[in-house]
Structure 1
Amino acid sequence: MTQIINNKQDMVDQSLDGVAFIHKHRLERVAKTGIIKRRDLQSVRGKVALISGGGSGHEPAHFGYVGAGMLSASVSGPVFVPPSSAEIYQAIQLMKEASEVLLIIKNFEADVREFLLAEKKAKQDGFLIDHVIVDDDCSVEEGSLKKRRRGVAGTVFVHKILGAAAAEGKSLSELKEMGEEVIANMNTLGVALHSGKITGETKELFQLSEGQISFGIGIHGEAGYRVEPFYSSEYLANELVNKLAAQSDDIKAHDLAIMINGLGSTTAMEQFIFANDVQRLLQLEGIQVAFRKAGNFMTSTNMAGISLSFLILKDTSWLTYLEAGTDSFAW
């Protein structure tokens, strides 16, 4: 499939320049880096700044969540490769207007390593800084019952809730505690109908025959734990809703926030058909949904597939923060 690119080696650089051009009134790219930051960083003076990021290929994550009420900056690395600790530290240095800094990290070994190295250097240089690690993926490893706990689409819920709380003036310790509670009450499962390719490459990320579906895929093109024929959206929704509901013993005791996330090439019509099936199943189970989103929030280049995230709203303030205003263009 032909793709609209120039030179493969320039893809990330040119896409970041494009983002800065389209959203020039509120975002700015730090030249020759993967950093996208708010133009109005002075507005975080005396408050906690939030920084997140990771490999490219997940657009609109993570730069799509930079803005008032969400992230102060994002740092993008090469496709499916996290940014270096040096660039993450450079982003931290830009937060001098802020009182403190919180890093939001997806649970992948390389991401955690680079972000924590940057945090360590920042602490040595006098920054008040901490982190949370998002591990919402509850799929299992192939051939075992061990949960993978990667950081996937639910990360965007963390950006939104903590971003709104930070804008309200919550302290670093309060945000860390809230973030860990949100993460503990959140789970995500993803499926693919087609693995897709890294932009500019010709090789499939993993092999999947026509008419089959892979359960438990990852956002870097990792294959799932089970492959079977695709039957229908309703069948798929039934499996994902039941598996996610089973993660909590008291899911009916609280309102729920859900995110239906397209993985790159899933059409809006498919997402809304799936959303209709999800809501009918939740209704039958007596599970109350207080907040819902559907769209492309955390993709895997052009993978055909979808993920479903459940966040149990055990604190009513989380819903308030989800509903709070933001000018982040991807929310």
Structure 2
Amino acid sequence: MPINSKLVHRVCVVGGGSWGTAVAKLVSENTERWPEFEPLVKLWVHDAALAATINEQHENTKYLPGVKMPDAVVAEADLSAALSLATLVIIAVPHEFLHGEIFRKILVGGAANCRVCSLVKGLDVVDGRPALVTERMRRDLLGLDVSVLMGANIAAEVAAGSFCEATLGVRTAEDGPVWQRVFNRPWFRVNVVMDATGVELCAALKPIAAIVRVGLEEMRRFSKLFFPHVRTATFFEACGVAEVVVSAYSGRTRRCAEAFAREVAAGGPAPNWAALELELLGDQKLPAMHRLREVMECVRAQGPRAQARFPLFSAIHAIAFHGAPPSRVLKLPERRIS
């Protein structure tokens, strides 16, 4: 399916949170521009009332307030209707809400041999080893192509047209030009790499690696330990170093971690992460904590020697869940992480 095909591509974004909404807005600017696309972009929103609000007010008042959506973005609460004859499906639901029913409806409602691009950050754990979320997608989608888009992006900034970069990881050369045409804008630069696994791992690991140099090195070590074919160069793309820097200095992970550390430093008990989520994020979630548990489960399954290679990951886990003081991240054994 080359980009100059007479076939009209129909795009569906699955997930009406802040990121899915921002991406739908971005993509609609390209679908209205290029003749090979159906201009309308369907956005699946789980909440029927919110879908109606988006269509009536052209604004996702719950997850991306203050950002006006173009008429070309049409929200649907019915997933089957949203996916009907879609040739390009973008999955933007949180990892913990990704379930088989989504994939079954893609197979039934989407066009034959449709392409899928994942924006989902996270890892599955199978028998103590990390498993890529996209591998589960490909299995449930009976072998359909699944690409990955990740980068140092904050939804509100992308929606506002601030300059951003992202890395598109593909498994086949044919997928790169199609998805780049979907996402790339003058202010949203998309670089294509033939390393979908590396791109996905960068995004999955970065929330627990906010001390930048050490974190990047442990991300690389983890990826190479379980997925040896990953390219080191991928960690220097927007999905790697840039996204780690952004997470370290802004966004929901930084906000919750700072509140956690401030409360502990004041002499109080370590706050509950679920309570912090509710207080600071409302209906949004903090996926970094789930990923931290998953990553450490995999590391520990490899034995003490393997765990010693990840002092930062281990320290953050001990702080987050076992009462260690936040200052522990400043006392890492340098000889093990250099």
TM-score category by the smaller chain? Answer: 0.3 to 0.5
Rg (Cα) greater in structure: 2
TM-score w.r.t. the length of structure 2 is 0.35
* Greater RCO (Cα-Cα under 8 Å, separation 6 or more): 1
TM-score w.r.t. the length of structure 1 is 0.36
Bigger share in helix? 2
